[in-house]
Amino acid sequence: MWEKSKELYETARNLMPGGVSSPVRAVKPFPFYTKRAKGSKIYDVDGSEYIDYCMAYGPLILGHGNEKVKNAVKERLEDGWVYGTPIELEIEYAKLITDIYPSIDMVRFTNTGSEATMAALRLARGFTGRKKFIKIEGSFHGAHDSVLVKAGSGATTHGTPNSAGVPEEFVRNTLQAPYNNVEALSEVIEKNREDIAALILEPVMGNASLIIPDDGYLREVRKITMENDVLLIFDEVITGFRLSLGGAQEYFGVEPDITTLGKIAGGGFPIGIVGGRKEILEKFSPSGPVYQAGTFSGNPISLTAGYTTAKILEEERPYDELRRKTENLVSALKDEVHDAKLNVSIGSIESMFCVYFGEKPRDYSSALKLDSRRFMEFYWKLLENGVFFPPSQYETCFMSVAHGREDVEKTAEVIAKCLRAL
């Protein structure tokens, strides 16, 4: 079924570490190689078709190859693709984001989510004049030094949550607290009073399987950070434009001081965005002393795809429909899991969902108890039956606007069949 993919991977392994450009793609014993993708489907080089719930790990809320986004990008390409000068669309997109996100008065465009969180942390430190920050255990904020401590996503999948090559001195100012635990967070703040610039967290954890906040957790986090003069950074690289148009902050009604966006915000092209209050954002160079720069920052293609996607989402508000589709799938699965008496749980929030091999986790340490080996057996069975999930228990599945009713019905059947066959 995967002859050509196997062959390609053999060659790739000698040319790229692990044969890939990003670790989580290195599925054992080999990943499938994609030829093309359209709507809810992805096609491999051996001619197989899969219903895609990996969706490039989050950016494709409209599905693959959306026509409006494609046409907007094509039109933009006619005028050249990178200039090294400002363009009008930066202003339009910045306006749109500040309209949709009331906590954001100003933005800085970067090229990736990693770059955005790196800049957001530097900004928080520059603004407060303090060194330390707190991250949540198992959260993933990209692949830069100071956040590669108990990092989720590929880092956890491949057993390297604390990366080699990051000197202990570089992460001495990175503190950790468990998710969904207000007392532990208060303790860390208490112990490091006066030294903490910020708390960075994924409002919904999407890189250590899917972990949903307890009722009131985020509101408590806002209260504690406010009382202790700690900046609150919401890393909404996944949840922005995903949980609702205005992201997790709109969905849960909690306003952070700084927000990072990415993934959907680039409409399938690389982007990162740091947003927040004017007094904070103005600390960025050149209006302030916190240096941050990029040759491709605010590039016309990413801005066009991102702006077009955000406009479509604003006009069409597909969120009820996305939630309904996800709930249909999830409730079919819950019935199946219940009937088959499997040690499997299902979780979802809006268009994000996850099949857990074990109990639904509430934090990183409970996520680590999930049976990743069985998840991977399940992954391969799904693939044989035409359904593509992200290839790790520590990732989240995404429903898109392009998934139709037949996709969802077929997926429910395939998953039921695969669970029974395990």
Ligand X SMILES: *Cc1c(COP(=O)(O)O)cnc(C)c1O
Decide if residue 66 touches ligand X (CB under 6 A): no
Does position 112 interact with ligand X (CB under 6 A)? The reply is: yes
Q: Is 137 in the site for ligand X (CB under 6 A)?
A: no
Q: Interface mask (CB under 6 A) for ligand X, residues 271-300, using x and -?
A: -x----------------------------
Does 237 sit near ligand X (CB under 6 A)?
A: yes
Residue 361 in contact with ligand X, rule: CB under 6 A:
no
Q: Is 202 in the site for ligand X (CB under 6 A)?
A: yes
Site for ligand X contains 268 (CB under 6 A): no
Considering beta carbons, is residue 161 or 206 the nearer one to ligand X?
206
206 touching ligand X, by CB under 6 A: yes
* 363 near ligand X, rule: CB under 6 A: no
Q: Work out whether 140 is an interface residue with ligand X (CB under 6 A).
A: yes
Q: Which of 5, 103, 110, 114 binds ligand X (CB under 6 A)?
A: 114
- 108 scored as a contact of ligand X (CB under 6 A): no
Interface region with ligand X, contact rule CB under 6 A, candidates 97-105, 113-121, 281-289, 352-360? 113-121
Indicate whether 203 belongs to the interface with ligand X (CB under 6 A): no
- SS3 of the chain: CCHHHHHHHHHHCCCCHHHCCCHHHCCCCCCCCEEEEEECEEEECCCCEEEECCHHHCCCCCCECCHHHHHHHHHHHCCCCCCCCCCHHHHHHHHHHHHHCCCCCEEEEECCHHHHHHHHHHHHHHHHCCCEEEEECCCCCCCCHHHCCCCCCHHHHCCCCCCCCCCHHHHCCEEEECCCCHHHHHHHHHHCCCCEEEEEECCCECCCCCECCCCCHHHHHHHHHHHCCCEEEEECCCCECCCECCHHHHHHCCCCCEEEEEHHHHCCCCCEEEEECHHHHCCECCCCCECCCCCCCCCHHHHHHHHHHHHHHHHHCCHHHHHHHHHHHHHHHHHHHHHHCCCCEEEEECCEEEEECCCCCCCHHHHCCCCHHHHHHHHHHHHHCCEECCCCCCCCEECCCCCCHHHHHHHHHHHHHHHHHC
Residue 309 CB, nearest approach to ligand X (Å): 15
Q: How many residues line the site for ligand X (CB under 6 A)?
A: 15
Out of 8, 148, 200, 238, name the contact with ligand X by CB under 6 A.
238
List contacts with ligand X (CB under 6 A): 112-114, 117, 140-142, 202, 206-207, 235, 237-238, 262, 272
